Amino acid sequence: MKSIVAFLNLTMTVLTAHAQPDMVDTLELGHSIVMVTTDLPGGSNGRGSGVVVSPEYVATNCHVIANSNGANIAKFRDGYQPTGLKANWRRDLCLLKFTPLPFKPVAMRESKTLQYEEEVFTLSFPAGSPVPQTSYGTIKGIYAYDGSRIVRSSATFAMGSSGGALFDQNFNLIGLTTFKSPGHHAFFYSLPVEWIKELMDSPDVVSLKTQEVPFWALPIAERPYFMQVVIPYQNEEWATLKTIASEWSSKEPESADAWYFLGLAEEGLLQLPQAEKDFKRAYTINPRDLDAMLALSRIALVQNNLSALESLQPAVSALDKTQGDLIAQQITKLKQSN
């Protein structure tokens, strides 16, 4: 029997349309996104994406080029060979160095200025596409990690997109599209631009060979909490999720996401009073936490709590009009039934 969470997600979730940037501006921006090609051991080739972040540097993910026999970039049928490399293998961030490139560097915006539910879009070369492809979404998570913040968005990307760009609506680079969780309902994560700026000041490395593993590919128990919660959540393993989220909220009590996932676990276990308490804590910490608001509205709907729904509806609508309209419909139904 499906849990109450699955049922309510079905009844409360709808597709949301996102604003799209002007096509001309997007095409112009695409001039700063390059394809990264590698020569792999055994004679095959690999592909990824890269972003021109200065006249001399292209940022990409280290896993695109690590342990290859060589790497180049391609743009407009022209190839360019790097003259140097900077790498932070654990962060999975590499900078390919060139003599000044004939491409315009992108503007960068630091992660500390980002907000949940901001509209964003990606630009990369998924599945070997010959031209950059775009996907759209919103910021769904901003997670403190290693001196900066990992960004999760609902803008999807696929194989070949590693090292691509995540942009805000003002065409500022806000992340490098890097890794995703497994499954059909994947979470998509990007590295912060602060790491790019830090790496520019580091010494060059002399080899593409490394034994280091990116932080996101470590054994599950060694990964950040924001990654550990995903699979139990997707598999509806609520007791496991509660254990992980409890530890997360204890270690990082100011993380709204920790309390949100703890609330999800409790909701799945039908511990609704405690779930409501923890969702409210997430919402208090982050007033733009749309997911926490929707969770609170689910509980209010189950409890026929009209006043709670009426209190939540304007805040939800301000971030997502479609979801706000859906709650307004539920309010109308409750009034009619009373």
Q: What is the pLDDT of residues 248-267, one digit of tens each?
A: 999 999 999 999 999 999 99
Q: What is the pLDDT of residues 198-221, one digit of tens each?
A: 999 999 998 999 999 999 999 999
pLDDT at position 75 over 90: no
Pairing between β-strand 57-60 and β-strand 45-52 as defined by DSSP bridges: antiparallel
Q: What is the pLDDT of residues 139-154, one digit of tens each?
A: 999 999 999 999 999 9
Q: Show the beta-strand stretches assigned E in the chain.
A: 33-39, 45-52, 57-60, 70-75, 78-80, 84-88, 93-97, 107-108, 119-124, 133-145, 148-153, 164-168, 172-180, 188-191
Residue 308 C-alpha from the chain's centroid: 30
Q: What is the pLDDT of residues 164-186, one digit of tens each?
A: 999 999 999 999 999 999 887 89
pLDDT value for 338: 74
pLDDT value for 181: 93
pTM of the model: 0.91
